[in-house]
A = this chain, B = another copy of it.
Amino acid sequence: MRKTAILGIGQTKIDEHWDLSLREIGGNAAFAAMQDAGLEKVDSLFVGNMLSSTISGQNQLGTFFSDWIGLWGQEAVKVEAACASGAAALRSALMAVASGDIDSALVVGVEKMTDKAGRDVTSALATASDADYELEQGISFVGINALVMRRYMHEFGWKHEDFAPFSINAHANAMHNPFARLHQKINIKQFENSSMVATPINLMDASPTGDGAAAVVIVPADRVASVKGKPRITVAASASATDSIAVHSRKDPMFLSAAYTSSKKAYEMAGVTRDDIDVFELHDAFSIMAALSLEACGFAERGKGVRLGLENEISRNGRLPICTRGGLKARGHPVGATGVYQVVEIAQQLRGECGETQVDGAKIGMAQNIGGSGATILTHILKAE
Distance, CA A21 to CA B50, complexed state (A): 22
- B257 x A73 contact (CB < 8 A): yes
- B372 x A1 contact (CB < 8 A): no
Residues in chain B near residue A60, CB distance under 8 A: 80-82, 127-128, 245, 371-372, 375-376
- A67 x B245 contact (CB < 8 A): yes
- A58 x B261 contact (CB < 8 A): no
Asked if A78 is an interface residue, CB under 8 A from chain B, the answer is yes
Number of interface residues of A (CB under 8 A): 67
Closest to A4 in B: B99
Distance, CA A57 to CA B144, complexed state (A): 17
Stretch in contact with the other chain, from A130-138, A303-311, A342-350: A130-138
- B53 x A242 contact (CB < 8 A): no
Asked if A313 is an interface residue, CB under 8 A from chain B, the answer is no
- B101 x A63 contact (CB < 8 A): no
Residues in chain B near residue A72, CB distance under 8 A: 242-244
* Contact among B67, B101, B135, B261 with A249 in the assembled complex (CB-CB below 8 Å): B67
- B21 x A371 contact (CB < 8 A): no
Asked if A315 is an interface residue, CB under 8 A from chain B, the answer is no
Residues in chain B near residue A77, CB distance under 8 A: 79-81, 88, 91-92, 240, 376
Chain B nearest Cβ from A235, distance in angstroms: 11
- B80 x A80 contact (CB < 8 A): yes
Chain B nearest Cβ from A270, distance in angstroms: 13
Residues in chain B near residue A50, CB distance under 8 A: 59
Asked if A150 is an interface residue, CB under 8 A from chain B, the answer is no
Residues in chain B near residue A1, CB distance under 8 A: 99-101
Chain B nearest Cβ from A20, distance in angstroms: 13
Distance, CA A254 to CA B54, complexed state (A): 30
Interface positions of A (Cβ within 8 A of B): 1-2, 21, 23, 50-51, 53-54, 56-64, 66-67, 71-82, 88, 91-92, 95-96, 98-102, 123-124, 126-128, 130-132, 135, 238-246, 249, 257-258, 261, 371-372, 375-376
